[in-house]
């Protein structure tokens, strides 16, 4: 039979530029179906971090609405026209509030303004709902003008509220509607008054329209991004947020306590999240989380505290309060509205029917290594766990209990207890190459043991700025392994979801937003594509011809990390001893400090802009704040008259100066180097093709405590070899690197420190499922390399008649999305044209791509 397949046409230019194509064969064994795919496999994990809730998903526009964010002053509020504002702690609205705002109005048009969470997004012809509590020291008659203020002054919407206040009595102002007559992405809320008087305000709130019209609900665009993932479960509320952290101010009471987060918002005291550094209103509380889970069609998964937190612990034999808190939480979610206390409370709060909570996790990352103390929040974890397990199972036998295993320090976490457990929660924050290498991680897991939930995972090493495509493809490969093994791995959720761009306490995150805009990173698109294209049965897959021979690049260079350093006496020879590169000795004459010898050096060391000692664009594969600082600051490279190359910017981190000479496969590099000032040593770059694909020897890294070989490939980073090591300040060291094809030996002062060979790499990763509901075979192909693949897909035991392809690809693995280019890396869908029934599909697989083929029988 013949088939004519044309797709990915929109990527034609990319394919033409990708170089010679390999042709792996993907054998899909359609005749022998495997395990049933877990119906819960892909979900989401919400944690209050990065202003993910307050200032994000929770739609409240007023920041510090209850005046609890600071004990001394009403931050985020400013006085208008000479009004006097101060905090008071007496005569409060109720015993749940600690402060209120006292406002002295001496003349008309005075008042206060709130700046929101880095601005309020007002949209033309949209109605906003205002509410507040107010009282007067003396009887007060006048009007309060509720105004939507423009960021640069003036108003785009106003409503006057007539006040007739009795002295000393708190009065609710509810459901005041204000129409925005124009748009402003960084607006403010202004409250002004028509008559003099002394007033107190508390719980001042302004809501836009919310997701599904829920009162006290969610921001529409952010909730819709979650909805597009079609999550099967939602884990909440954290994370470290569950545990809290000891402070002199709050002790252990900054942990999440669900009973403080339900009911009217004026009855919620809020609390300081010490872990993530800001005050929480608790407006997006337990009830709202359950409601959002239901609205998303996701099963709720609640995480409870086991009496452990960061810097505090409750004795493990005094956990009655914590266990009862967990039991009451289940009753709130599931209890009968007429016969149970907490079920009745749920109904009072607007949800008479049970939410159906069936998943509960006992602790968050509390089973690490120090069970004899609380050094890593693990003190007597299993003794704590079993008390919760027995109490919950005795009353709610249908609730599945999730236990903790090690969350760091090992790639092989395990349940180190004889206690029964239903599901284990594994967490992995690693590099793109780690996720790629763990494609087969779960192939040999014990099928008779507990089921596995990957509760938190993400590329957090070598991800770029917001999260690049290479990071997302590493995660996609790992997810392919989860799908193939979803008889044992029954759930998985990326973490974290959200980051407000004004408060990036953790990077990366799969949804980035500000007051008015939001977008998904490549990791978000991977999560969406994988979750929305999953079948019901695993189909066995075998791929042939998909390995790439490892190669070490052919250029050398230098870098530093938080340290000033110097380099001299560079010499590079081929294996026959011929000198290929050598440091130039400058002309000793006065003009030697000028253009003559610098021009000579320019022949050897240049940048992309061909300017002498202007460094290359900083290495984009490095993520986090350090990489951003490197990009912002660059480096200061200078050549002294005696031929010493200096990097003089102690703050520079990871900026690379590459040599333009292309070296042979085999060469020896010699150089002398020393650290001058700073916390670390120096870096010798070798095996480089460009500033995203290189190997470097990081000497005296990690606070001058370790030497390591790090491999950067297409924006991802992996450690190939490491050992303890320290460099003395000001001492010259002799560095030698012997490169032989795909292997290298690294010597320091003549002593062998590292010897390694690059491992083979797969050029294509594949898995498949059958969707028995639609009759489609879903074949997923990930190409994490820069080489185009022409995959031959053979369906053994089936023929297909039509299909479509969903492709996430870009020219470079380091490509990202940003607020200015929100869809720079985003999926496209195209038909697969099949002229007659066939069992063979030819699929051009672009470089750096996730490809999902839906092939209909």
User: How many angstroms from the chain centroid is the CA of residue 57?
Assistant: 15
Using DSSP's 3-state secondary structure scheme, residue 310 falls into: strand
What whole-number distance in Å separates Cα of residue 515 and Cα of residue 386? 44
CA distance 571 to 587: 19
**Alpha helical stretches, state H, 651-810:** 701-704
365 tagged catalytic: yes
Task: Copy the structure tokens of residue 368.
Answer: 């690490």
Query: Alpha helix locations (H) across 42-83?
Result: none
| Burial profile 371-399: b = 16 or more Cβ within 10 angstroms, e = fewer | beebebbbbbbbebbbbbbebbeeebeeb
- The strand pair at 359-362 and 400-404 is best described as parallel
- Report the alpha-carbon distance of residue 798 to residue 856 in Å, rounded: 10
Of the candidates 561, 571, 583, the one whose C-alpha atom is nearest the C-alpha of residue 727 is 561
Residue 775 CB-density burial (10 A; 0-12 exposed, 13-18 middle, 19+ buried): exposed
Determine the Cα–Cα distance for residues 825 and 819; give it in Å rounded to an integer.
12
- 529-546 burial, b for 16+ CB within 10 Å, e for fewer? bbbebbbeebbbbebeeb
Give me the numbers of helices (H) and strands (E) for the chain, helices first please. Answer: 13, 52
d(CA 528, CA 823): 14
Alpha helices per DSSP H over 432-574: 432-437, 469-484, 522-532
Nearest to 704 by CA among 562, 511, 827: 562
How many Cα neighbours within 13 Å face the side chain of 303?
Answer: 26
Closest C-alpha among 95, 51, 69 to residue 272 = 69
If one counts every other C-beta atom within 10 angstroms of the C-beta of residue 640, the result is 12
Tokens of 272: 């300081």
Residue 78 class from Cβ within 10 Å (0-12 exposed, 13-18 middle, 19+ buried)?
A: middle
99 is written with which tokens? 């402060």
Q: What are phi and psi of 630, to 5 degrees?
A: -60, -45
Among the listed residues 279, 216, 274, 289, the one whose alpha carbon sits nearest the alpha carbon of residue 45:
289
Give the DSSP H/E element, type plus range, for residue 780. strand 776-783
CA angle at residue 361 from 357 to 362, to 5 degrees? 130
Residue in 844, 782, 830 with CA at minimum distance from that of residue 522: 782
Cα separation, 359 vs 233, whole angstroms: 9
Distance (Å, whole) CA 657 – CA 617: 9
Task: Report how far residue 810's alpha carbon sits from residue 17's, in angstroms, rounded to the nearest whole number.
Answer: 12
DSSP assignment of 701-721: HHHHTEEEEEEEETTEEEEEE
Count Cβ atoms below 10 Å from residue 752 Cβ, excluding itself. 11
CA distance 497 to 514: 14
Strands (E), 662-762: 666-678, 682-690, 693-700, 706-713, 716-724, 733-740, 743-748, 751-757, 761-762
Tokens 């790629």 sit on residue: 436
Tokens of 266: 């004026």
Identify the active-site residue in 60, 243, 365, 406: 365
Taking the C-alpha atoms of residue 379 and residue 383, their distance in angstroms, rounded to an integer, is: 9
Where in the sequence numbering do the catalytic residues fall?
Answer: 365
């Amino acid at each position: 039979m013949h088939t004519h397949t044309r797709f990915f046409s929109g990527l034609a230019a990319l394919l033409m530029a990708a170089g010679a194509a390999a042709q792996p064969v993907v054998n899909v064994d359609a005749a022998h179906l495997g395990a049933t795919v877990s119906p819960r496999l892909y979900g989401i994990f919400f944690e209050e971090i990065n202003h993910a809730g307050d200032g994000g998903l929770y739609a409240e526009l007023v920041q510090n609405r209850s005046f609890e964010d600071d004990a001394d002053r009403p931050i985020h509020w400013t006085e208008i026209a000479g009004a006097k504002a101060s905090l008071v702690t007496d005569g409060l609205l109720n015993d749940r509030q600690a402060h209120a705002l006292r406002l002295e109005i001496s003349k008309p048009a005075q008042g206060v303004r709130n700046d929101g969470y880095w601005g309020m997004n007002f949209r033309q012809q949209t109605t906003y709902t205002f509410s507040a509590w107010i009282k007067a020291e003396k009887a007060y008659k006048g009007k309060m003008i509720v105004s939507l203020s423009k960021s640069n002054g003036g108003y785009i919407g106003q409503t006057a509220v007539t006040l007739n206040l009795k002295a000393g009595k708190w009065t609710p102002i509810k459901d005041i509607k204000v129409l925005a007559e124009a748009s402003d992405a960084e607006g403010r809320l202004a409250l002004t008054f028509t008559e003099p008087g002394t007033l107190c305000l508390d719980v001042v709130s302004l809501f836009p329209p919310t997701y599904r019209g829920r009162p006290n609900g969610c921001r529409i665009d952010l909730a819709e991004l979650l909805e597009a993932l079609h999550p099967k479960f939602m884990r909440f509320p954290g994370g470290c947020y569950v545990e809290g952290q000891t402070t002199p101010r709050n002790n252990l009471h900054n942990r999440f306590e669900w009973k403080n987060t339900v009911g009217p918002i004026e009855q919620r005291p809020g609390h300081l999240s010490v872990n993530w550094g800001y005050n929480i209103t608790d407006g997006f509380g337990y009830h709202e989380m359950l409601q959002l889970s239901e609205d998303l069609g996701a099963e709720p998964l609640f995480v409870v505290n086991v009496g452990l937190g960061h810097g505090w612990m409750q004795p493990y034999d005094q956990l009655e309060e914590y266990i009862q808190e967990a039991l009451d939480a289940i009753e709130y979610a599931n209890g009968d509205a007429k016969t149970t206390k907490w079920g009745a409370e749920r109904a009072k709060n607007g949800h008479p029917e049970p939410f159906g909570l069936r998943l509960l996790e006992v602790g968050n990352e509390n089973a690490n290594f120090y069970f004899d103390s609380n050094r890593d929040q693990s003190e007597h974890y299993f003794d704590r766990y079993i008390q919760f397990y027995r109490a919950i199972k005795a009353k709610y036998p249908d609730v599945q209990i999730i236990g903790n295993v090690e969350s760091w320090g090992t790639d092989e976490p395990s349940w180190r207890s004889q206690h029964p457990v239903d599901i284990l929660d594994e967490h992995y924050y690693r590099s793109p190459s780690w996720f790629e290498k763990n494609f087969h991680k779960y192939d040999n897991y014990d099928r008779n043991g507990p089921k596995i939930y990957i509760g938190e995972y993400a590329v957090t090493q070598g991800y770029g700025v917001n999260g690049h495509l290479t990071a997302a493809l590493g995660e996609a490969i790992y997810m392919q392994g989860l799908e193939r093994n979803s008889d044992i791995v029954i759930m998985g959720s990326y973490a974290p979801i959200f980051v407000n761009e004004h408060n990036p306490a953790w990077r990366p995150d799969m949804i980035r937003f500000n007051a008015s805009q939001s977008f998904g990173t490549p990791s978000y698109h991977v999560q969406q594509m994988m979750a929305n294209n999953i079948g019901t049965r695993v189909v066995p897959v075998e791929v042939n011809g998909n390995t790439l021979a490892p190669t070490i690049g052919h250029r050398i260079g230098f870098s530093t990390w938080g340290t000033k350093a110097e380099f001299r006496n560079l010499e590079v020879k081929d294996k026959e001893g011929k000198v290929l590169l050598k440091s130039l000795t400058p002309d000793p004459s006065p003009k030697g400090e000028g253009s003559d010898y610098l021009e000579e050096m320019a022949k050897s060391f240049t940048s992309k802009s061909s300017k002498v000692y202007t460094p290359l664009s900083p290495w984009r594969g490095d993520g986090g704040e350090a990489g951003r600082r490197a990009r912002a600051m660059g480096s200061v490279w200078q050549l002294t008259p005696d031929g010493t190359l200096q990097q003089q910017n102690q703050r520079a981190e990871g900026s690379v100066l590459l040599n333009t000479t292309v070296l042979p496969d085999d060469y020896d590099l010699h150089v002398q180097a020393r650290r001058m000032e700073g916390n670390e040593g120096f870096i010798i770059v070798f095996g480089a093709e460009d500033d995203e694909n290189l190997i470097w020897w990081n000497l005296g890294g990690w606070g001058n405590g370790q030497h390591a070989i790090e491999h950067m490939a297409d924006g991802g980073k992996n450690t190939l070899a490491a050992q303890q090591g320290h460099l003395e300040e000001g001492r010259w060291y002799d560095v030698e690197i012997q490169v032989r094809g795909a292997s290298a030996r690294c010597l320091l002062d003549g002593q062998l420190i590292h010897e390694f060979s690059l491992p083979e790499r797969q050029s294509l990763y594949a898995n498949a499922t059958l969707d028995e509901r639609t009759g489609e075979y879903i074949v997923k192909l990930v190409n994490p390399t820069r080489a185009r693949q022409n995959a031959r897909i053979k369906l053994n035991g089936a023929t297909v008649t039509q299909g479509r392809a969903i492709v996430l690809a870009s020219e470079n693995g380091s490509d990202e999305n940003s607020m200015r280019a929100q869809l720079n890396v985003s999926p496209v869908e195209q038909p697969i044209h099949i002229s007659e029934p066939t069992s063979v599909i030819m699929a051009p697989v672009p470089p750096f791509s996730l490809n999902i083929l839906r092939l209909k029988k």
